[in-house]
Amino acid sequence: MDTANIFICLTCGLPIRDTRRPKDAAFAGFTCPECVVCKDVLRKEMDNLKKRMLALLMRVMERLYTFHRGKPPSDPFLQIFKARILQRNAADEKIDAIKNAIAPPASDDVVIRNVAASERLLSGFFYSLNGRGNIINSDTVQRHWVTFRKTMALHSNSPDPEKILADMGDERYCFNLDRLSRLIGDNPVCISRDPDFYKAVRPGRKKTRAHHLLIEGRNHIQELIDQTKEKDMYPKIVNYDLKDLLRFAGNACFITEADQVIEFRATANDYLCKYLLKDQIMILINDLWFTDELAANSPTEIPPAELVTIYPHSLAADDLMKHIGDGNYVPNCVDLEELTTLIGSIEKQIQP
């Protein structure tokens, strides 16, 4: 591995490859005053992102609570919930410790040890948080997300957006995509693979979801079939059939390798968006559909998420280039199982 351009940032405490900054006497050793990520981030943008993520999580929590309990949460419950998810998280506290350890006049041996510690921390960042909701209060996630948006906007004038995404996939370490996927791309979602689930017409709809997926998305399906054959993907979409489509999407939704998927939450409709870097496929999932319907009789299980559509590479590229730079996506901070457990623990806390 070429380590000439790898530094540990004195501002954020994380290692990063900066190909635009050759290693020279001004940046001796393994440290630099400011990495590419920190350099391109404004505190105001990070604060705005935090507010949007908090609003998203509060909105989903209230809908989930109402679905399970048949009534909205009380004001004391809301106050405790908000305080709980805004607590300082363990991962960022460890990063602060690393930053203090590498501050001058730290020896090279100390810095080298902390480069390794920082890298290990990053690879297991989510598992150090003890809760996905805690990413709301993570400077690390906010910093990388804002920089990711800036990077996408920087390249949005290219005449060939498909090629940009392919190039960014190959160079994702330099563009922080690998790091971003480690931070926010590890939330597998189980979608329903039962075709009958998509053939029923639910209240408020004129057509079935199967009609949307197979008829309105006809061009999508054919391009996906061609793409799965061309890239020798598995499972392939062999037939123009709902079962093949659901099997392919269902398997893809369980990809959790850090360098294969980036996960977003669309702010316009709360859809969960999984972008598969290697295959250049965007999968849109509505995992919150059931919270829009009337509360059932104290359901004990969360219904499976619903596939909305799959965008093949050309459509996915166009969609990403258009919307990410405009801020229409935020990191996914929603985990329904985790929220349900948290709701129960807070209710026990406020019971007289």
Question: Could you read off the pLDDT of 325-347 as tens digits, one per residue?
Answer: 788 999 999 999 899 999 999 99
Name the nearest CA neighbour of 303 among 195, 142, 196, 191. 191
pLDDT at 145 over 70: yes
Does residue 10 sit within a domain? yes
Residue 179 to residue 123: CA distance in whole angstroms: 8
Name the nearest CA neighbour of 203 among 292, 296, 270, 285. 292
* Res 236: pLDDT: 80
Pairing, β 31-32 against β 261-266: unpaired
* Res 304: pLDDT: 87
Evaluate the CA torsion angle 156, 274, 85, 36 in order and state its sign. Answer: negative
Domain ranges, residue 20 = 1-39+106-123
Does residue 333 sit within a domain? no
Does residue 182 sit within a domain? no
Does residue 160 sit within a domain? no
What percent of the chain is modeled with pLDDT above 90? 24
Residue 287 to residue 42: CA distance in whole angstroms: 32
Rounded to an integer, what is the distance from CA 290 to the centroid of its chain? 21
What percent of the chain is modeled with pLDDT above 70? 87
Helix axes 139-154, 90-101, angle to 10 degrees: 80
* Res 25: pLDDT: 46
Bond into 33 cis (ω within 30): no
Q: What is the pLDDT of residues 306-322, one digit of tens each?
A: 999 999 988 887 777 77
Does residue 324 sit within a domain? no
Q: What is the pLDDT of residues 163-209, one digit of tens each?
A: 766 666 666 666 677 788 888 877 888 898 888 888 888 777 788 88
Does residue 343 sit within a domain? no
Averaged pLDDT of the chain: 83
* Res 161: pLDDT: 66
Q: Which residue has the higher pLDDT, 111 or 274?
A: 274
Q: Furthest-apart CA pair in the chain: how many Å?
A: 68
Does residue 116 sit within a domain? yes
* Res 73: pLDDT: 95
Q: Which residue has the higher pLDDT, 252 or 3?
A: 252
User: In the predicted model, what is the mean pLDDT of residues 218-223?
Assistant: 83
User: In the predicted model, what is the mean pLDDT of residues 97-120?
Assistant: 83
Residue 72 to residue 78: CA distance in whole angstroms: 10
Name the nearest CA neighbour of 190 among 272, 125, 264, 127. 272
* Predicted confidence band of residue 262 (pLDDT cuts 50, 70, 90): confident
> Can you read off the two tokens belonging to residue 24?
């020279």
Q: 3-state class of 135 per DSSP? A: helix
- AA identity, residue 87: Q
Output the pTM of the full model: 0.87
Q: Which residue has the higher pLDDT, 21 or 133?
A: 133
* Predicted confidence band of residue 231 (pLDDT cuts 50, 70, 90): confident
Q: What is the pLDDT of residues 42-92, one digit of tens each?
A: 999 999 999 999 999 999 999 999 888 889 999 999 999 999 999 888 889
Please count the structural domains in the chain. Answer: 1
Q: 3-state class of 301 per DSSP? A: coil
pLDDT at 242 over 70: yes
Q: What is the pLDDT of residues 129-144, one digit of tens each?
A: 878 888 999 999 999 8
Does residue 115 sit within a domain? yes
User: In the predicted model, what is the mean pLDDT of residues 254-267?
Assistant: 85
